[in-house]
Structure 1
Amino acid sequence: MSPSALGKVLEVFERNFRERGEIGASVSIWWDGTELVSEGHGWCEKDKTRPWTTRTLVPVYSATKVPSAATLLLALENHGFGPDTPVREIWPAFPVGEARFSHLLSHQCGLAVLDQKADVFEHAEVVAAIEAQVPAWRLGEGHGYHPRTFGALTDEPVRRLTGMTLGSYWREKIAEPLGLDFWIGLPESEWPRVARLYPGKADKSDLADGFYKQLTTSGTFTRMAFSSPKGLHAVHEMNEPRAWSAGLPAMGGVGTASALAKFYQAMIGRIDSPLSENVRRALTAHQVSGDDRVLLRPTSFTCGVQQDPLDESGRKIRQLYGPSLSAIGHPGAGGSHGLGDPETGISFAYVMNQMDLSVMPGLKCVEMVEALFSEI
């Protein structure tokens, strides 16, 4: 790992504070089992009450989905099942009869929108709505990101298998053994460490994006996918302990950049961990690619993790996760980001409290990723 590349990453990180309105943020880079960079600067609030440090916790929205997918895969393996297990073997009322867990985790089941109203804080309500839902497309007819329903879709099988919530199982089986300061259900003792989030503002590029237009238009499939189950739609709601402690596997993770980057080291097999080779393979092996029915752009997924999609010649359309074809990762709304590259052994995470508007990573993060891999 080139020291000059690490220096370039830190140059971008520092420029974000000078030129791009960063308030507080952390970045962590690991390589082959060792943390090479752990930086945290700025403030937990705009009024500069609490300094931001590398131990500052912050909600990371959908970057939570990868720890959640790993937790479900581990629970399946520990009970004699795997990605190819039919979902109905564990969850008999699941509405897609032929679906396997690989389909569920790679957003292929057509359950991104719920017609039956349910509150995101009421797990039983959401499960009932999922069981009553007619899928929006048939299995094999493509995929579409499940921004919010992914939570109950992963949580319910873990509860049925283990008798524990996904967040509790994550903590006991993965986070504690690895010493990860990352929570899916934050205990009250850690609440004072959480930074305040600030919403992003739209710029011209956001307003011109087809996804954003659909997201802000009532009745569109994309808008409904980001609205069901209901609740936690405003950023200020994510600044409340109720959101941190609820343990929502699609969007409720709270942690540090160092913890998220270390978790990706476990996923790509560069540190000893509870994740077996079979679990790691499921997290890193391609499942589906194509035009995303919700995000309205090409996307590519493993079991719960994103990859950069490829064009017809096999070249990457974008490089959110670096140049390697085997690289994986997942963004969170507003800009938080994590990635792992099995080819180089590099993992990276970035978390912040001044959000961008876009659902995909913005320049603050993308330029760090470009700098990280600039000499590879």
Structure 2
Amino acid sequence: MSRHQPVGGSVRPGWEAVRDAFAHGQAHDPGAAQLAVHHRGRLVVDLWSEGPATRAGTRFGPESVSVLMSVSKGLTAVCAHLLSQRGTLDLHAPVARYWPRFAAGGKADTTVADLLAHRAGLPAFTDEAGGVRLPGLLDAEARVRALAAMRPVWEPGTAFLYHPLTQGHLIGEVVRRVTGASIGAFLAREVAAPLGLDLWIGLPQREERRFVPQSAVRPAPTPGQVAAAIGRLGLAPDDRLATALGASAAELTAATEAFGTRRGRAAEFPAAGGIGNARSLSRLYAALIGPVGGVRLLSDAAVDRARAPHTDHLPPPAPLHRLDGPDRSRFGLGFELPRPGNPLLGEGSFGHAGAGGRLGMAHPESGLAVGYVCTAMSWDPAAGPDPRWTGWTAAVRQAAGVTGTG
């Protein structure tokens, strides 16, 4: 193991192999990481690798927090399912029931479930080449108005394609319409406070001292590289789907840049701007599937609704048929589901990964919940599961007696 990557923390008896696998996975990681595992509501793994010193000599430790990227989508999904469980939000109702202006542009029949399952046909904040750049990307009211007015790129509910950034604003606005609170405020009051979590959508100023920034291992793709990749998908440059994909890529680059600033971290950017640590992610997912400190967030029935497949029957929007196949992403209502090349914690598990390698997930049948947070943006989803994960996810499954890989 690299000398600059000492592993701190502890594991309970029977979980020692997880520590060894985590250490092996972090040995050549240029950044730092945390791994936490709960089993049947009890913290059994609590580890971190310090990584190299960051700004002003700060080191990454167990109390540090960092950007979660798309792991944040799991936080937004939890908020929606809580409201559904309470009877104040019907996930299969039209979005326009709660947000009347959303009916514009042919979206009157788009459901909340379509938003959660990336079926809404709104993969970017605009379908104009170049997308929305800073500082406009952080103008949440403008982004919500734009989404309400947009015409979908495909007929909602008929195809599935990941919405990298827009999904958070879409779900966030529904939550705001139902509760009167922003999704960051709702998460803080109804989820983080009862469980004592260090998880935020919108980082408070008082917590800035604990924040450790992420670092890119490779440069962001240039507009030319993005255009070439879209062309290889068989899309004409002026196709609305092509321009939306180009806009989405530009917006993701701008958002990642924003999270390196105080303004970006303070903003509520629900799809990718959540901030927290592994302990809190693991504790959150543990509380979805069972009691933790006397608190349980979702019932068994709500968990089953959340993890039921909702995209397996849908193709990608035409003409992206080459993206179809047995190893493509699978989604329930707001959560990623296992697939052959990425088994998560086994069949029945659900959660969400994030750009660069973050991960939060649970496996109800075994009582497992996991949180992994890293600072080096080294994971390439196109290449399969993060190599830093594969050893410890297998060790976690083995320690908990999970058979098969899903």
Could you say which TM-score interval applies, normalised by the shorter chain?
0.7 to 0.9
Asked if structure 2 preserves the Cα contact closer than 8 Å seen for 1:112 and 1:147, the reply is yes
Q: Given that residues 215 and 222 in structure 1 are in contact (C-alpha distance below 8 angstroms), is that contact kept between their aligned partners in structure 2?
A: no
Counterpart residue number, 2:163: 146
Deviation string for 1:139-187 (max 9, x for gaps)? 3422111100012101111121222110000000111011111111110
Aligned residue runs from structure 1 range 187-202, under 5 A: 187-201=204-218
RMSD: 3.0
Contact 2:289 2:300 in 1 (8 A): no
TM alignment of 1:1-376, pairs within 5 A: 6-18=15-27, 20-43=28-51, 45-46=53-54, 49-78=57-86, 80-95=88-103, 96-113=107-124, 114-115=126-127, 118=132, 119-201=136-218, 213-214=229-230, 219=242, 221-228=244-251, 231-234=254-257, 237-271=258-292, 272-289=295-312, 292=316, 296=323, 298-309=328-339, 317-323=340-346, 325-359=347-381, 361-374=385-398, 376=402
For the residues of structure 1 that align with 2:36 and 2:218, how far apart are their CA atoms? 26
User: 2-side partners of 1:78 and 1:141: how far apart?
Assistant: 29
TM-score normalized with structure 1 length? 0.85
Mean alpha-carbon deviation: is it higher for 253-262 or for 112-121? 112-121
Q: Which moved more, 1:31-40 or 1:140-149?
A: 140-149
2-side partners of 1:194 and 1:215: how far apart?
39
SS, match of residue 11 in structure 1 = helix
Moved more, 161-170 or 220-229: 220-229
Question: How much does 1:270 deviate?
Answer: 4.5
In the TM superposition, what is the alpha-carbon distance from 1:330 to its structure 2 partner? 0.8
Q: Deviations over 1:253-287 (max 9, x none)?
A: 11010100111112223433243455433322222
- Return the alpha-carbon distance in structure 2 between the equivalents of residues 213 and 361 of structure 1: 21
Distance 2:113 2:42 in 1: 31
Which stretch has the larger CA shift, 41-50 or 192-201? 41-50
Distance 2:97 2:148 in 1: 15
Offset from partner CA, 1:13-62 (integer Å, 9 cap, x none): 212343x2243110001100101011122147357812322111010100
CA distance in 1, matches of 2:70, 2:281: 12
In the alignment, the residues of structure 1 paired with residue 228 and residue 48 of structure 2 have an alpha-carbon distance, to the nearest angstrom, of: 31
- Residue 326 and residue 68 in structure 1: after superposition, are their counterparts in 2 closer, same or farther (change >3 A)? same
Q: Which runs of 5+ in 2 are unaligned?
A: 1-10, 220-225
Structure 1 residues 127 and 48, CA, compared in 2 at 3 Å: closer, same or farther?
closer
Matched residue SS, 2:376: coil
Shift, 1:11, TM fit: 1.4
Distance 1:230 1:7, change over 3 A: closer
Task: Describe the SS at the equivalent of 2:158.
Answer: coil
Quick one: structure 1 residues 5 and 226, their matched pair in 2 at CA, closer, same or farther if it must change by over 3 Å? farther
C-alpha distance in 2 between matches for 1:231 and 1:145: 18
CA distance in 2, matches of 1:211, 1:326: 37
The one-letter amino acid of 1:300's match is R
| Unpaired stretches in structure 1, ≥5 consecutive residues | 203-209, 310-316
Q: Secondary structure at the match of 1:301?
A: coil
CA contact (8 A) 2:168 2:270 kept: yes
Contact 1:70 1:279 (C-alpha < 8 Å) held by counterparts: no
- Give the direction of change, closer, same or farther, for the CA distance of 1:81–1:326 in structure 2 (3 Å limit): same
Q: 1:5 to 1:99 in 2, by over 3 A?
A: farther
Larger Rg: 2
Query: What is the CA–CA distance in structure 1 between the aligned matches of 2:88 and 2:367, rounded to whole Å?
Result: 30
For this pair of structures, how many residues does the alignment match? 357
Cα distance, 1:12 vs structure 2: 2.3
